[in-house]
Structure 1
Amino acid sequence: MGGVFAGYATIASLIALGVLLAHLRVIDAAGQRTLSTLAFYVASPALLVTVLEDSDLGALFSGALVATTGAVLLTGLAYVALAALRRRPLGATVVGALCAAYVNAGNLGLPIAAYVLGDPALVAPTLLLQLLVLQPLALTLLDVDRSETRLSVRRILARPVTNPITVGSALGLGFALTGQQLPAAVHDPLALVGGMAVPSMLLAYGISLRLGPLPGRGVPPVELAGVVGLKLVLQPVLAYVLGRYALDLSSAGLLAVTVLAALPTAQNVFVIASRYEREPILARDAIFVSTLLSVPAVVLITALVA
């Protein structure tokens, strides 16, 4: 379990640094927006190219992918249904669904897969599903929501190819499918730029914690509790039920999909929400609370399922 707590400690340290920088007035709200913009337009696309370039796409076609997809889809639809009852606008619904279903598969998924589950490759289905399907779909819907004019079907379909994160994912996937490798003169600068993605996200998040309302005070408690409940309770339960009763996964596979489904909301949801100016405080608070509560959730699931 040491690797799990080390992963959480690393994230907490960078967030705390962001809080400190904002408290000392080294970085203000404009600086926070700049960090989020840098992560969205530059660092994240570069990171996706270099990460997906070497990914094992064969890991996608497995029972774990089916269980993960089902849990993400059903959790997202549960939030959409609740949002429809409350007549939430499209942009707010998309961000809320991401808060409820988009897991931190990169920063926490990799160390947890390595140190709790014993195989870092187990996180691949979750990671690639989110990068290649869930995130491009969400970004397209947010682009449509922000547009001031009615978009044609052709323009809607063209939106993904103009979004930097989607483009980065597509390029990385293309290299993985063809087996081609970027030359070192291109790969190395991209890797350096991509290395800014996670620190930029975490620093921007910490700055927002200091400059914005305290967690739990910026959004209605019922809304926040609902999102976190879907993320840390419904999603892992669905993953377990699908894995055990519908797919008959092995004990190791069942533990993997259940634990990974209980990971907190990913930090890049806050970057996306900030970029599109749709519910950034909800995203921020959902990340904060779900990250705190995911520690006992992962420990409990490991003890029960293993």
Structure 2
Amino acid sequence: MTGVFEGFATIAILIGLGILLAHLKVIDDAGRRTLATLALFVASPALLITVLEDTDLGGVFSGNLVAMSAGVLASALPVVLVARWRRRGLGDTVITAMAASYQNAGNLGLPIAAYVLGDASLVAPVLLLQMLLLQPLALTLLDADRAGERISVGKVLKRPFTNPITIATLIGLGLTITGIRLPGVIHDPLELVGGMAVPSMLIAYGVALRLGPLPGRGVPPRVLAAVTALKMVVQPTAAYVVGRFLLDLDTPALLAVTVLSALPAAQNVYVISARYDRATLLARDAVFVSTLASVPVILLITALVA
């Protein structure tokens, strides 16, 4: 338990550093975008390749993936059922379902897996689930909802493979499957660059908290509360129940699937909502509120499960 709190303290200090740097105007919004871009397109892929290179493949395609998938289904399905009952539009339904189930596995999942759970590769199952299945499906439905635009099957199939995180994950898994070891002249620079990933993400996140706008009015409180509850309560609870009672996961694996299922809604849910102009205020506020709620929720999960 001490290690868990130390891990959260490390994360909090780096986020606090980002807040301080933004407050002192050392890093502005352009600097934040540079940090985030560096982390997304360079450092995070390098980290995932070096981590997954030595990962047991059974740990990726295992009960962890099943339990986390159950959590996603449990939190997204009520949104779909209520939307059909109330005849909500397809686009708004997709964004609301994403806000209730799509984890921030990249920006916060990697740091929490690395520092709190002690193994960055634990985030690989949820990254694969989201990048190869959930995001392409959501974008396909949003394209269908957009008037006058035809869906290109080729474009839909290419979407997962244009994301650097997905590409790096597949490369790392390919190295694991084939047993190929990267030569030191390639592995060592990748490992060095990958070391920038977590600090860059956390500092950029702290800058965003300081510079970003607070949630405004326009979203009914009961709707925001319901979406947040689905994300922060229903999803981790479902993952825990399936992991413990159906899959009989051991304590470390059970802690991992429950904690990772309690990650807040991902920031790119808001980006996607803005691009398609669907449920934009709800997406923005759900990301903000679930991010604030994630720290006490994850601490509570860790205390109860560990």
Task: Give the count of matched residue pairs.
Answer: 290
Tell me, yes or no, if the aligned pair for 2:231 and 2:290 is still in contact at 8 Å. no
Partner of 2:123 in structure 1? 127
- Which structure 1 residue ranges, 5 or more long, are not aligned? 115-119
Deviation of 1:252 (Å): 3.5
Deviation of 1:198 (Å): 1.7
| Aligned counterparts of 1:288 and 1:161: Cα–Cα separation in 2 | 31
Report the 3-state secondary structure (helix = DSSP H, G, I; strand = E; otherwise coil) of the residue aligned with 2:111. Answer: coil
For the structure 1 residues 190 and 253, does the alpha-carbon distance in structure 2 shift closer, same or farther, using more than 3 Å as the test? closer
Tell me, yes or no, if the aligned pair for 1:40 and 1:272 is still in contact at 8 Å. no
- CA deviations 1:46-82 (Å, max 9, x no partner) are 2221121111112245444432322233223344555
| Aligned counterparts of 1:164 and 1:130: Cα–Cα separation in 2 | 15
Partner of 1:294 in structure 2? 298
State how 1:114-263 maps to structure 2 within 5 Å. Answer: 127-140=123-136, 150-214=150-214, 217=216, 220=219, 221-247=221-247, 249=248, 252=251, 255-256=254-255, 259-260=258-259, 263=262
- Which structure 2 residue ranges, 5 or more long, are not aligned? 276-282
For the structure 1 residues 162 and 72, does the alpha-carbon distance in structure 2 shift closer, same or farther, using more than 3 Å as the test? same
- CA deviations 1:226-272 (Å, max 9, x no partner) are 3432233212321233234434x166378536643564327xx3367
For the structure 1 residues 254 and 136, does the alpha-carbon distance in structure 2 shift closer, same or farther, using more than 3 Å as the test? closer
| Aligned counterparts of 2:136 and 2:48: Cα–Cα separation in 1 | 18
Partner of 2:20 in structure 1? 20
- CA deviations 1:23-56 (Å, max 9, x no partner) are 1111112222222222222222222211211111
1:31 and 2:14 are equivalent in the alignment: no
Tell me, yes or no, if the aligned pair for 1:175 and 1:181 is still in contact at 8 Å. yes
Report the 3-state secondary structure (helix = DSSP H, G, I; strand = E; otherwise coil) of the residue aligned with 1:107. Answer: helix
Task: Give me the TM-score of the superposition, normalised by structure 1.
Answer: 0.77
Letter in 1 for 2:99: G
| Aligned counterparts of 1:42 and 1:149: Cα–Cα separation in 2 | 33
Tell me, yes or no, if the aligned pair for 1:53 and 1:181 is still in contact at 8 Å. yes
For the structure 1 residues 277 and 271, does the alpha-carbon distance in structure 2 shift closer, same or farther, using more than 3 Å as the test? same
Report the 3-state secondary structure (helix = DSSP H, G, I; strand = E; otherwise coil) of the residue aligned with 1:108. Answer: helix
Partner of 2:279 in structure 1? none
Q: Percent identity?
A: 43
Deviation of 1:157 (Å): 0.7
1:69 and 2:69 are equivalent in the alignment: yes
Deviates further, 152-161 or 94-103: 94-103
Tell me, yes or no, if the aligned pair for 1:240 and 1:257 is still in contact at 8 Å. no
| Aligned counterparts of 1:27 and 1:275: Cα–Cα separation in 2 | 26
Letter in 1 for 2:267: F
Partner of 1:117 in structure 2? none
Report the 3-state secondary structure (helix = DSSP H, G, I; strand = E; otherwise coil) of the residue aligned with 1:206. Answer: helix
Deviation of 1:186 (Å): 1.1
| Aligned counterparts of 1:101 and 1:30: Cα–Cα separation in 2 | 22
Deviation of 1:83 (Å): 6.5
Partner of 1:109 in structure 2? 113
Deviates further, 100-109 or 205-214: 100-109
- CA deviations 1:86-141 (Å, max 9, x no partner) are 54547734751454685954322355445xxxxx6xx86x5221122223334435
| Aligned counterparts of 1:219 and 1:182: Cα–Cα separation in 2 | 52
Tell me, yes or no, if the aligned pair for 1:14 and 1:199 is still in contact at 8 Å. yes
Report the 3-state secondary structure (helix = DSSP H, G, I; strand = E; otherwise coil) of the residue aligned with 1:181. Answer: coil
Task: Give me the TM-score of the superposition, normalised by structure 2.
Answer: 0.77
- CA deviations 1:166-196 (Å, max 9, x no partner) are 1111111110111111111111111222222
Partner of 2:7 in structure 1? 7
